Structure 1
Amino acid sequence: MLVSTIAGAATFALPKDGSTVVGEVKVVVPTPDNTLLDLMRHFDLGYDEITSANPRVSVWTPKANTRVVIPTRFILPPKPWEGIVVNIPQRRMYYFPVPKKGQPAQVITYPISIAREGWSTPLGTSKVTAKYRDPGWFVPKSIRDEHREEEGVELPEYFPPGPDNPMGMLAMRTGWPGIYLHATNRPWGIGMRTSHGCMHLYPEDAAELFPQLKVGTPFRVINQPVLVGDAGGQVWMASYDGVAEYPDQPAPATLAASLLDQRIMEAVLAGQPLDQDRVRKLLADPSAIPQSLNADSPALSTALAALPAESYAFAPYGIDANDASLPEPRQHRDDAASVAP
C-alpha cells in the first residue's frame, strides 16, 4: 500500500522524573535511490548531525543495505526551559511552549543552520519581536560585497517574496538588529554554517512553528559545545564542534569538567563509576549521538549494532525540493520487505 507524508518536528513530553534526555536513536536501511540528505530532512535532522552519526557512509550514494544511524536522541539545553533556546554548536533549537490547561509540558526541537565565520549570532537573551509572512529582503551592502568577492556574482539589491527568497516564506524577528529565525530557499544547507547571523529552518518546520509562536516569546542563544544529561539512572554526554569566534567561552574540556564534577562524585559513591575514556573520546571526536558514560553500560558501537534496522522506502525529495516551498508529500510502501538487523 502507498501512503504519503511530510515529516514533522520531534515533539516530546518533558520528563517529570528529573531526566534531561529525550528521544531515541534508530537505524534505517534506505532504498538505493535515497541519499543521506533525504534521510536528514525526513527525520528533521541537520547535515552535521546525519554525517557525524554516519562518518563512513557516502552522503550521495549509500551502498545497498547500508545501516544508517538516525541520531534522534537529544540532551536538553540548560534551564530555564521557556520559549526558544538555540544552542549554536549543536545547530539545533528547542521550543518550550506554554502548556495548555490540563496538558503536559512539551518540548519541540528543530535543526537549524547557523552563521558563517565572521557573522556570529549574538549570545544571550532576547524575544520574538515580530512575525512576517512572505517577507521581501533588501540585501545589505556588506552581504552583496562579500558575495561578489567570493562568488564573482552580483546579488540583487532586493529579493521579492517567493520560493527563491533566501528569507523563505516565513520569518520571525528577534530583538537583535537584523537577526531572524526564518525559513530558507536552500533547505539542503540546514545544519551547516550558511547564514549571516540568522538561524535557518526547513520550510516545513517554519510552517509548523510560525502559527504557534507568539510575539514576546523569550528567545535565548547559548554556545555550549558539550551537553551532559541524566536519564534511566545513567549520565549521558554529547559534544559538538565548537564555534571559536565567541570570546570568553570555556574550552570544551573545561566545560565538560564543570558539568561532570558533581556527577562523578555521585557515581563513585553509588558504586557506578563513569568511564573517563568515553569522556576523552567524545571531546576528541565530537558526536551528535548522546552516549552513556556509565562504565557498566555498553559502548556506543555495541549499542548501535544491537539496534534492529527499519526499512526506509520513502521516495526521495528530488532536486525541485531545494527552494523555500513546502515539499510535496512523498510516497512510501508500508508493505516493503522487513530488513534484518
Structure 2
Amino acid sequence: MVGEVRVVTPTPDNTLLDLMRHFDLGYTEITSANPGMSVWTPGPGARVVIPTRFILPPKPWEGIVVNIPQRRMFYFPPAKKGKAAEVITYPIGIAREGWSTPLGLSRVTGKFRDPGWFVPKTIRDEHRAEEGVEMPAYFPPGPDNPMGMLAMRTAWPGIFLHATNRPWGVGMRVSHGCMHLYPEDAAELFAQLKIGTPFRVINQPVLVGDAEGKTWMSSFDPVAEYPGEPTPAEWAERLLDQRTLDAALAGQPFDPERKQRLLDAPTALPVALNDSSVDPGAVLSAMPAEAYDLPPYGAGANDASLPAPKQPPADEAAANP
C-alpha cells in the first residue's frame, strides 16, 4: 500500500473538482469517499475525505499497470541501484459505456508532443447519432484537441495514454478506449517514460493488501464491457481465501459484515478487514481536518493546457515572503 488518507476543510469557493485535481484524484474516487456531499458546494466547514491511500495492483510491478475498475494507473520506474523501489500513481478517465480498453500486456511504442487526431469513422458515426451534428474528421494540435498536448501510444491499434482537453472528466467513463490523464500528470509521466516500457491493463474490481499487521481491501464498481470476468464477490473470495484462514489462526479474524459492506458500496478508501473493534467511519471522524485555502482552478482550467502554479492567498503570501 502507498499513500495516506487525509481530511481537509476547503474554503467556500472550492469544489470537490478543485480538491480532486489538487490531490491527484479522479471524480469517482473523491465522490465515493464523500457520499452525499455536493460536488459544487461541499458546505461551510465541510470535512472532505481525501482518499490518497492505495492498494497496489497485483505483481509484476514493472512499467505501467492500469486497473480499469479502479480508474487509476501505476508506474513502476526501473529500479536504481542502491535505491528503494518507487511507484507513481495517477487517476485516469476510462472508456465510456459500450466501449472498452484491451486487457493484457502491451508496451509503449511512441511518444507525441502536440498530437493531431484523425477521428475514426465509428466515433464520428456515434457522435452524429447521439448529437445530431457532424464531428470533425481531424482535430489539429492545440488546447481543444481531445488528445491533449501529450500522447503515449501503446502497441494496441488506436489505444493511447494521453492528456485531455476536458480534465474534469478524469476518473469518469469518457473515452473510446484510450486512457485520459490530467495535463500536468501527462507532462510528468511523458518526461520519464521510455519507448518499450511494458504496459499492462487489468480488470480487477477488488484489491487486497497487507499493512500495519492488517489485511486491507478496496472495492470498485465492475465494468460491464468485460463479460465472463469474475464478479467482485468472486474476486474477494479468491484473494481472501488463504488470508481468512491465516487471520483466524492468528486470532485476528476478518469481519464478514465489513467485507460485504465494501462489496455492496464500493469506495476508493481501503478498509482493514480484521480490525472489527475500530469502525472506519470513526477513524475518519477523529482525524483532524487541514485547512485548504488555495484558490480554485477556475473554468479556464478545463482544457488541455497546463494549469498555472497555485499560489497561496495574497495575505498569506505577504506574511511569508
Give the TM-score category using the shorter length.
Answer: over 0.9
Structure 2 residue corresponding to 1:223, chosen from 194, 203, 217: 203
Structure 2 residue corresponding to 1:145, chosen from 125, 132, 137: 125
Q: Hey, what's the Cα distance between the residues in 2 that align with 1:125 and 1:262?
A: 27
1:299 aligns with 2:294: no
For 2:243, the equivalent position in structure 1 comes to 263
Q: Hey, what's the Cα distance between the residues in 2 that align with 1:265 and 1:331?
A: 51
Contact 1:29 1:67 in 2 (8 A): yes
Q: Hey, what's the Cα distance between the residues in 2 that align with 1:190 and 1:229?
A: 25
Gaps of 5+ in 1: 1-20, 337-341
For 1:201, the equivalent position in structure 2 comes to 181
Contact 2:295 2:313 in 1 (8 A): no
For 1:310, the equivalent position in structure 2 comes to 290
SS at match of 1:143: helix
For 1:120, the equivalent position in structure 2 comes to 100
CA deviation string 1:80-112 (max 9, x = no partner): 000000000000000000022332110000000
Contact 2:29 2:171 in 1 (8 A): yes
Q: Hey, what's the Cα distance between the residues in 1 that align with 2:33 and 2:117?
A: 35
Q: Hey, what's the Cα distance between the residues in 1 that align with 2:203 and 2:114?
A: 30
What is the one-letter code of the residue matched to 1:140? P
CA deviation string 1:281-332 (max 9, x = no partner): 1001111100000134511101100111000001000000000000011222
Residues matched between the structures, number: 316
For 1:283, the equivalent position in structure 2 comes to 263
Q: Hey, what's the Cα distance between the residues in 2 that align with 1:142 and 1:106?
A: 40
What is the one-letter code of the residue matched to 1:132? F
TM-score, normalising length from structure 2?
Answer: 0.96
Q: CA RMSD in A?
A: 1.2
Q: Hey, what's the Cα distance between the residues in 1 that align with 2:125 and 2:272?
A: 47
Q: Hey, what's the Cα distance between the residues in 2 that align with 1:22 and 1:309?
A: 20
Greater alpha carbon shift after TM alignment, 287-296 vs 58-67? 287-296
SS at match of 1:86: strand
SS at match of 1:329: coil
Question: Higher helix proportion, which one?
Answer: 2
SS at match of 2:44: coil
Q: Hey, what's the Cα distance between the residues in 2 that align with 1:160 and 1:81?
A: 36
- How many percent of aligned residue pairs carry the same amino acid? 74
Q: How far does residue 335 in structure 1 lie from its aligned partner after superposition?
A: 8.1
Structure 1 residue corresponding to 2:166, chosen from 176, 186, 206: 186
Q: How far does residue 244 in structure 1 lie from its aligned partner after superposition?
A: 1.3
For 1:28, the equivalent position in structure 2 comes to 8
TM-score, normalising length from structure 1?
Answer: 0.91
Contact 2:119 2:137 in 1 (8 A): yes
What is the one-letter code of the residue matched to 2:84? P
Greater alpha carbon shift after TM alignment, 243-252 vs 187-196? 243-252
Q: Hey, what's the Cα distance between the residues in 2 that align with 1:26 and 1:141?
A: 45
1:55 aligns with 2:35: yes
For 2:254, the equivalent position in structure 1 comes to 274
1:133 aligns with 2:113: yes
Gaps of 5+ in 2: 317-321
